[in-house]
Every structure is written in C-alpha cells, then in structure tokens.
Structure 1
Amino acid sequence: MLPFIRYHFDLFIDRIFGLYYNSRVEPIQKATNDLVLESAVSLARKIRKREVTSEDVVRAFIDRIKEVNPLLNAVVDQRFNEAIKEAQNLDKDIASGAILDADFAEKPFLGVPFTTKESTSVKGMSNTFGLLKRKSRKALFDAEVIEKMKDSGAILIAVTNVPQLNLWQETRNPVYGLTNNPYNITRNVGGSSGGEASIIAACGSPLGVGTDIGGSLRIPSFMCGICAHKPTCNLVSTNGLTFRTGKEKSTMVVAGPMTKYVDDIKPFLKVLVGENVHKLKLDEPVNIKNIKIYYVQDPKDPFVSPFRDEMKQLMTKVVNHFNEILPYKPELLTINEFKYGGKIWRYWMSQEPDANFNRDLADREGEISSMIELIKFCLRRSEFNIAVMLNLINGLLPSENADWAKEQTNTLHNKLMAALGTDGVLLYPSAPWPASYHHTAIFRPWNLNLFAIWNAMKFPVTQVPLGLGKEGLPVGIQVVAAPYQDHLAIAVAKELEKTFGGYVPPFKVNK
C-alpha cells in the first residue's frame, strides 16, 4: 500500500508543478558552429593536424556560452579574453614548430577548452561555494586537478554554478541563482556539478571537471544526458575542492570527468589520476564478451521513490542487449543490503575527514546554530536556502549506529566483490524518472541514495546516457565496477553508447 501511495504522490507533485511551469518552456538555441558538437579527443586531433586552430576552437565554445548562458545560468565566472590569448600563443608555437608531435603526445588536450565547477579552486576565479558569506571571493590558487588539466594543454574558459556547499541535488544558491536544464528549462539539472552538466550538454564546453561525494558527478550528468565517471576513490587529489587540502587520508570525495562522449573519459581520467595511473588498467584491452554482466532493477530502498515504467523498460532493454551479444545471460543481482544504501552513506558522511557542515556554512569562522538558522529561515531572515535547511534537519536526527553501519558496509562490499571481481560490472538504475521540475527534489530528497551508495562503497561508476525518453528528456544508467576496475565500466559504457545512441544534443542537428 505504501509504495502505491508514494507512486501517486510523486505523480501529484509533478502534475501540480507542471501546471505552473508548462507555459514557461523555451527551447535552447541551435548551435551555429559544428565544432562545439565534437568530442575533446576529436578537437585535440584536429588541432594537432592543423585542420583548425586552438583559437578557432576556444572562440567557438566561448561564443556558444554567450548564446546559451542567458537561458541556462550555468556559467558564473569567465576568463574569455585570457583563454583566447592563451590559444593564440599556442597557435603561434604550433605554426613555428616550437611544439612537436611529442608535445601533443604528452599533452592530450593541447589547445582544447574546458570548464570546472565554481567550488573547485581556480586562481582569480569566483570561489563562493554559493555562500553569501563568500560573495565576491576569488580563489588564490589552482586546485591540483586544475593544474593537471592545464598541464595536459587544456585551456580553462569558465567556472560553473553549484548548490550551497555542493550538498544538494539541484543547482541553486543565493549568490548566482538557479541553473536550468538545456533540454527543458523548467527541469532540474541536478547537483552538485549541475552548472557543468548543463553547459556541457548545451555544447558550451567539451569537457569539465566535476566532483562527487554523494552523486554530484552522476546526478547532473544523468539529468542533462552526458557522461560522467566517478573514479575509484583516493586516486585523484582533493586539494582545492571546497575546503579540502588533499591531505585527507581516506574520503568519499573524488573529482572526475564530465564529457559528452565516452571516448573522452579515459584520456581525461589519465590526466586526473596522474602518477596513480599505474594503479588502474586504462590501457588494457577489454573484450565485452568476456565481461560478466549483473543488474539491479530495483534496490528496494524504502526511501527511494517507486520506479516508473520508462526507467524499468530502459533497464530491461539494456539487459536484453547483453543477453543477445554475450555467451551467457546477464544475472539479476539480489543483495538485501542495497535497501540500506542511504543509511550506510549517511553514516560514512559523518565520518568524513574534518566533517562539520555547520562550521563550513560559517566559512569556517565559528559555527552556525541549526535551530537558530531554522528559525531565521521561517522568518525569511536566513542567508541559506531550503536545501541547507533540510541538511541541517538531517544533522539533528539521531545518528546511524556505527557498529550496524560498519557491518552492513562490510557485508555489502564483500558480496559485491565476490560477484564483480576483476571481470564483472553491475548495471544499476540512476533514478526513478528523468529530470523533474525545479524545486521538486525537496519532496523526494533520498532519491540520491541510488548514487550515494557507490560513494560509501568507494566503487568506480560510469554514468552513461542512453538517448532521450518519451518527454524528450535524457535517460541513462550507472555502470559499476569493483575498485581499480574502472576500465571495465568505461568499456561497457562505450558499448551502450554505440548501441543506444548516448548523448543527444538538446537541439536539432543538420545531418
């Protein structure tokens, strides 16, 4: 009875918000330069072969941002002039012969523009985390992941919008406002890397650096129809990610690639992991027919909304595909502990290094009071939005029992490792439905459990788009592998992209 009520409650919420938003739909402008439709790998290749200049490419994406950002509000700070100058200088070096083929080999994204979320430190760029207390704050240094991207030859052009302190599944804050979905501006872009997903999907950036502690790479990528990869944890430096210093010994936080196409994930990931690349098998050939496929149709988490037919049918379609091409049938994985995903993640969030949400909200200058802030919010005197209030309420609730959480974590981890090993992947649902209307996440906050469980497990996950659903909104699934088996998840994502279409632009493309 309860799932029935919940299912129809969710439909009711969408119906009410739909009545409000339906008259506000405005289509995104069609891209006028085909360069913005290409993969980062393709653009780097064309620059290397001198078919286009870096300046051509950088200007194309800058122009595209100018076309779409007034509608999307994804980019919140930019360095367009500096990026063009960097591209011009690079083109001069290429023309003069100062840059050799060996330089291109060592710098896989030479001359290609990129973006990153505003909460990741970029020297001289906005770094507010969406907090009014940090309004007008500029970063004093480059995060290590940004240094690595620059070392790869990539040229930063802009930073993008985030929720307050990154902890919400919609991108909105009182400093920069709300970010819209390019497929339908009345819809959510997810969070916390929502600005990144929105601008990449709209072809304003070929690739971007996102971060993930509870789905922050994958939720926005699902909602905006692009690819993302959450790497095996503790391989990518966290230095410069909000308050992180990079000295944290063990954390669920990880930076990862956001791209339109699967082909860009592997070279991007190599750049981010740097000297830890030897711990992965990214250059190891993968024969899809040798991979064991497992799947979960519904993890039975009571906090997650019931799945709608569209998402159930999507998983069935994917499973049927592998059933046709593999020498053995995909196996339904039934593990009872999946239903505790949200509780497990909630416990491990409390164990994060230097974890103190109330202190972070005060910009680490003192500590806010949850009760006082909730009263101020009710009186419309708070500088924080409702997402922060829900997080504060969550912090006031009883903590998960540590012994129970550790036991469930170990049990689930062991069961998954026994199944996946070094030659298996798990197909896991991303959401009960495609991107919903703005602000409706407050009525179903725990749907993030579908993503957050993999942070708690510290498993690598590739979010892969699978075209558009019946309302013209992106759909997709998560491909999970065991730690250090990132290459398997990426390979399966590539197979799915090839079969089901992957990324589809949010506008008509001339063929």
Structure 2
Amino acid sequence: MIFQFFSPRRPDETERKLPPVSNPLLLLSAMQLAKKIRRKEVSSVEVVQAYVDRIQEVNPLVNAVVKDRFAAALQEAAQVDKLIEEETGGEEVLEDRLPLLGVPLSVKEAFALQGMPFTTGLISRRGVVATVDAPPVALLKRAGAIPLGVTNTSELCMWLESHNHLYGITKNPYNLERIPGGSSGGEGSLLGAAGSVIGIGADIGGSIRMPCFFNGVFGHKTTPGVVSCENQHPNFSGRQEEYLSTGPMCRYAEDLLPMLKIMAGPNANMLSLNTKVDLKKLRFFSIPHAGSNPLLSPVSKELLDIQRKVVARLEADLGVKVQEVRFPELRYSFQIWDTYMGLPDYEGKPIVPFATLMGDSGPPKWPLWELLKRMMGKSDHTMPAILVGLMEMIKPSKPSAFIIQQKEKLQKEVEELLGTDGVFFYPSHTRVAPRHHHPLFRIYDFAYTGIINILGLPVTQCPLGLGEEGLPLGVQVVAGKLQDHLTLAVALYLEKAFGGWRDPGAK
C-alpha cells in the first residue's frame, strides 16, 4: 500500500542488465586518456564520442544523465585536437598547463555548470539554468576537461536515493532494482556504468561516499575548506560549511589525486599532495562498527568480512599491524550529525529550514499538507523530502548537552589516535545497495558516513569487488585533518589488491 506513493517498477526490471563495455577507450583512466590525447595516439573527439555512445547505450536503463551537452562537447573536443596539432611546446608543456586536456567529465546537477539546468530536482526550479560555473567545475574545465552533461540527485540533495519528480529515479548499474545512493547518485551510477571516467560530487553526510560505495567506484571527501563549495544548490547555512566537502569521484584510483589538486586550486598548498607516502610507515586501525544503537541497523556479515580481509591483506603484504579499536561514542553517530547540522553559525544566524528550501523563492512548504497531497498523488515533492521536513518539525529547539559532550570526546579521541600518520578503516554503510525506496525504513544508517563529516576528517571511499548478490563491496579509509594524501595512497594500494571497479555488464 505504502509504495503507491512511489514510482512504479517496470515488470521486466529483474531481467534487464547493462551491456558490457565494448570500446577499450572506456577502460582507461583519465590520466591515461589525457596522455594518449596529448601524444596524438587517440583524438579527443574519439574519446568524447566513445563516452557519448556509452551514455546513449546505458542511460535509458539507469537514468543518470538528466541533461546532456553532447554537441557542444564534441565541438570542444575538435578544438582540443586542433590545439594539440598546433602546439609547438611539446607534450610536457600541455601536461603542465592542461593536465586533463580533452578528457570527458560529468557534473552533479547541484553544481552550477554554465548553460545547464541547476535545479536539484525541485519542480519549482524547472527552467533555472546556471549562468556561471561553480569554482571546482571552472578549474576542471580550465585544466582541459570537457563536460558531457549533468547528473541526477535526490530532491534538494538531502536523501540517500537519487529520486525527484522533475527527472525521475536513477538506478544502480549492477542491479536496476537497487539504489545508486545520493545525493550524488547520478554521478555514482554513471561512473559505475562506464558512462563517465571522472565526476564531481559534494558530501555533507555521505553524498559522495554512499554513491561511490553502492556503484563500486572511488570517491574522496576532502578536508573541509580545501575545495570551494560555492555556487551549489541549495546553499549551506548555519555551521554546515564546516561539514560540507566537494571532491572527486572516479572509476580509477590514480585519478583522485590529480583531480583534487586541480579542484583545490591555490588551496592545494594546504595539503601534502606531492609527498610520497610509504604505507609501511603508517599506523593502521580498523573500527568494525558503530556499536549498539536501536536507530542503526547492524553491519552485514559480508561487509564485516571484507573489512577483515582488507586488514589481513594489508598485514600480509606490508608487514604492518592493524589494530582494532572501538569508540563507544560512535553509537550516537546519527544524533551527533543531526545536532551539529542544525547548529546556528557563530553569529547566531540560524539554519535555513528545509521547508523553506522546499518552497524555493516562494513561501515555505507545510510538510503535513504535502504529506496529505502525496497520499492523493498531488504533491510536487518526494516522500523523503516530505519526511525530512516532518522530522525537522519535531526536532528539539535546544541541542542536547549530552550529545555535544559525546561529540567533543569522540573528536579528541579520534584526533589523538590518528595524528599525522594514522589511518582507519570503517564500514561505508550497514549493507550493500538497498532496493529502491527501502532507505525510508532504515532512515539512520547513513550515520556511518555522516559522523565523518562532523569530525571534519578526509576520507576516501574504495571499492573492494562484488559481494554475494553481485553488488559492490567497499570500505571508508579515514585520516587526520589535512592528511588527504594518506587515504589517497591507501586507495591506490586497495585498487591493486582487490581489483577496483568491475564492469557491471560483465557480471
């Protein structure tokens, strides 16, 4: 009965699957493609056309790209090829000045990309078009990347399933009955489907990491304040800027670091991205789960097992000792995230209510009224958005002193544990990609990613092969503040050890 509120499922969903990758250009990293383009071993037009063809092949199945710019992208690729033909300074000059020259890029629709929709799935924003580029998008374009289009999000970027009434529902390339995550779910789905090689996402509670986990690709939540979060919709308010991070998403681990260097611009100097990391000299820790809390589902056996395999492999390969640690404060992860997301800024300016965001430039929406309309099939809003609005209505106006205390204690303990040479592994979620709409019944499980936002730590999401149901497994790799280079180095190791991304069409 309840599912009448949601999108209907096609009857043949279980039989349909993605076609395997047939063009070998789609199996190269962005760095490999850029090198081949610079050396004239392949043209940018050929590469962009290969990705256009792949998107046209898979998007009818996954609904990840909500607006393309294929014609413009092919024109820009032709200009790249002409520039390379006329370049007299040599390959090194091009690599230094334009490290992503001719490489295709996908962009989450919540980022301003000039000339493209900028709605985050809100029907009242239909027709809103970005007039500028968000800073990290501009930096990637300036490095030579060519945007192919924009990808789907959850409504207003506040849910772990990418579904809205403007663009519809996005599906997981490994199983069309499963979610791709959110809010960067269109990015995750497209990357997992080999419809893109690099993408861009933002993360305030797991919006990069959950899609990367569910779709078997890599993603990095940067230390906050390094990559600009300007010109995204919705805008942050209160203290949310402290917890929001923009970062790279990609199929191949070697693309993470060069992308982050570009996206950070001058702020890249805040990080030690040029420092060579000796994994044998790092201190490694493993946190198996958050502990007992009735709000959180237990972590599934297959995710506990794969994390143990990571530990065993690391110890065998590198001769290091991985220490298992537990923090009792983690059981309050959701309460900590929820509390800190609602705090006013340091001048006392409050958070913009979600109901106000739902109303956009008009009056705030009434979540109870929208729920009644939803039951009659008349609301412009999804059930998750309405639910977020309802939860906000019953949220205590004063933060809990106990929860504040738990967060401060956890922050101190974790920072002391990690220092500048520590890394810990932590589950990405409680289970592999759920079925569509099922997160409504396990609302709080995103706390496994959300708590890392509140702690302000850098974290890389790493794929670890496929599980029992043919769905991606993975783990979060977390380091101390500004130690992003450590988790990126571990990502390279895990890709070699566990095989990285797998073609969903080859399953």
TM-score normalised by the chain length of structure 2 = 0.93
| Map 1:10-21 → 2, pairs under 5 A | none
Per the alignment, residue 415 of structure 1 pairs with 413
Per the alignment, residue 341 of structure 2 pairs with 349
- Could you tell me which amino acid in structure 2 is paired with residue 96 of structure 1? E
Per the alignment, residue 283 of structure 2 pairs with 292
Asked if residue 334 in structure 1 is aligned to residue 332 in structure 2, the reply is no
On the 8 A contact 2:13/2:176 being kept in 1, the answer is no
Report the alpha carbon displacement of residue 86 of structure 1 after superposing the two structures with TM: 0.7
Report the alpha carbon displacement of residue 366 of structure 1 after superposing the two structures with TM: 2.5
Aligned pair partner of 1:86 in 69, 76, 85:
76
Query: Structure 1 pair 139/301, CA: closer, same or farther in 2 (3 Å)?
Result: farther
Aligned pair partner of 2:198 in 207, 215, 218:
207
- Could you tell me which amino acid in structure 2 is paired with residue 362 of structure 1? G
Query: Structure 1 pair 246/154, CA: closer, same or farther in 2 (3 Å)?
Result: farther
| Map 1:11-410 → 2, pairs under 5 A | 24-97=14-87, 100=90, 101-244=92-235, 250-302=241-293, 303-351=295-343, 354-399=351-396, 401-410=399-408
- Could you tell me which amino acid in structure 2 is paired with residue 366 of structure 1? P
1:34-81 deviations in Å (ceiling 9; x for gaps): 101111011011111111111111111111101110111000001111
Per the alignment, residue 348 of structure 2 pairs with none
Report the alpha carbon displacement of residue 142 of structure 1 after superposing the two structures with TM: 1.0
Asked if residue 505 in structure 1 is aligned to residue 503 in structure 2, the reply is yes
Residue-pair matches, total: 492
SS in 1 for 2:326: coil
- Could you tell me which amino acid in structure 2 is paired with residue 317 of structure 1? K
Report the alpha carbon displacement of residue 333 of structure 1 after superposing the two structures with TM: 1.2
Mapped to 2, the partners of 1:350 and 1:256 lie a distance apart of 23
- Could you tell me which amino acid in structure 1 is paired with residue 96 of structure 2? A
- Could you tell me which amino acid in structure 2 is paired with residue 291 of structure 1? L
- Could you tell me which amino acid in structure 1 is paired with residue 18 of structure 2? I
Report the alpha carbon displacement of residue 357 of structure 1 after superposing the two structures with TM: 1.0
Mapped to 2, the partners of 1:248 and 1:339 lie a distance apart of 23
Mapped to 2, the partners of 1:246 and 1:390 lie a distance apart of 20
- Could you tell me which amino acid in structure 2 is paired with residue 363 of structure 1? D
On the 8 A contact 1:295/1:330 being kept in 2, the answer is yes
SS in 1 for 2:116: coil
Per the alignment, residue 467 of structure 2 pairs with 469
Query: Structure 1 pair 467/309, CA: closer, same or farther in 2 (3 Å)?
Result: same
On the 8 A contact 1:25/1:184 being kept in 2, the answer is no
Mapped to 2, the partners of 1:361 and 1:249 lie a distance apart of 18
| Map 1:422-461 → 2, pairs under 5 A | 422-461=420-459
Mapped to 2, the partners of 1:367 and 1:138 lie a distance apart of 22
Report the alpha carbon displacement of residue 402 of structure 1 after superposing the two structures with TM: 4.6
| Map 1:482-501 → 2, pairs under 5 A | 482-501=480-499
Mapped to 2, the partners of 1:171 and 1:202 lie a distance apart of 16
Per the alignment, residue 6 of structure 1 pairs with none
- Could you tell me which amino acid in structure 1 is paired with residue 470 of structure 2? G
TM-score normalised by the chain length of structure 1 = 0.92
Question: Over aligned residues, Cα RMSD in angstroms?
Answer: 2.1
Mapped to 1, the partners of 2:114 and 2:299 lie a distance apart of 43
On the 8 A contact 1:25/1:186 being kept in 2, the answer is no
Report the alpha carbon displacement of residue 312 of structure 1 after superposing the two structures with TM: 1.4
Mapped to 1, the partners of 2:319 and 2:413 lie a distance apart of 24
- Could you tell me which amino acid in structure 2 is paired with residue 33 of structure 1? N
Structure 1: tracts of 5 or more residues without a match: 1-12, 14-18
Mapped to 2, the partners of 1:210 and 1:92 lie a distance apart of 31
- Could you tell me which amino acid in structure 2 is paired with residue 384 of structure 1? H
On the 8 A contact 2:152/2:167 being kept in 1, the answer is yes
SS in 2 for 1:478: strand
On the 8 A contact 2:20/2:503 being kept in 1, the answer is no
Asked if residue 480 in structure 1 is aligned to residue 465 in structure 2, the reply is no
On the 8 A contact 2:271/2:483 being kept in 1, the answer is yes
SS in 2 for 1:294: strand
SS in 1 for 2:461: strand
Query: Structure 1 pair 314/245, CA: closer, same or farther in 2 (3 Å)?
Result: closer
- Could you tell me which amino acid in structure 2 is paired with residue 39 of structure 1? S
Deviates more, 1:91-100 or 1:496-505: 91-100
Mapped to 1, the partners of 2:50 and 2:241 lie a distance apart of 40
SS in 2 for 1:92: helix
Query: Structure 1 pair 158/99, CA: closer, same or farther in 2 (3 Å)?
Result: farther
Percentage identity across aligned positions? 37
Report the alpha carbon displacement of residue 213 of structure 1 after superposing the two structures with TM: 0.7
Report the alpha carbon displacement of residue 33 of structure 1 after superposing the two structures with TM: 1.1
On the 8 A contact 1:170/1:191 being kept in 2, the answer is yes
On the 8 A contact 1:230/1:255 being kept in 2, the answer is yes
Report the alpha carbon displacement of residue 427 of structure 1 after superposing the two structures with TM: 0.2
Mapped to 2, the partners of 1:326 and 1:478 lie a distance apart of 19
Report the alpha carbon displacement of residue 439 of structure 1 after superposing the two structures with TM: 1.1
- Could you tell me which amino acid in structure 1 is paired with residue 503 of structure 2? P
Per the alignment, residue 16 of structure 1 pairs with none
- Could you tell me which amino acid in structure 2 is paired with residue 59 of structure 1? Q
Mapped to 2, the partners of 1:245 and 1:396 lie a distance apart of 19
On the 8 A contact 2:315/2:321 being kept in 1, the answer is yes
On the 8 A contact 1:118/1:162 being kept in 2, the answer is yes
Report the alpha carbon displacement of residue 30 of structure 1 after superposing the two structures with TM: 1.9
Mapped to 1, the partners of 2:289 and 2:58 lie a distance apart of 37
Query: Structure 1 pair 239/398, CA: closer, same or farther in 2 (3 Å)?
Result: closer
Mapped to 2, the partners of 1:62 and 1:23 lie a distance apart of 24
SS in 2 for 1:24: coil
On the 8 A contact 1:252/1:352 being kept in 2, the answer is no
Mapped to 2, the partners of 1:117 and 1:94 lie a distance apart of 29
Query: Structure 1 pair 20/109, CA: closer, same or farther in 2 (3 Å)?
Result: closer
Report the alpha carbon displacement of residue 403 of structure 1 after superposing the two structures with TM: 3.1
Mapped to 2, the partners of 1:20 and 1:446 lie a distance apart of 28
Report the alpha carbon displacement of residue 246 of structure 1 after superposing the two structures with TM: 11
Mapped to 2, the partners of 1:484 and 1:209 lie a distance apart of 20
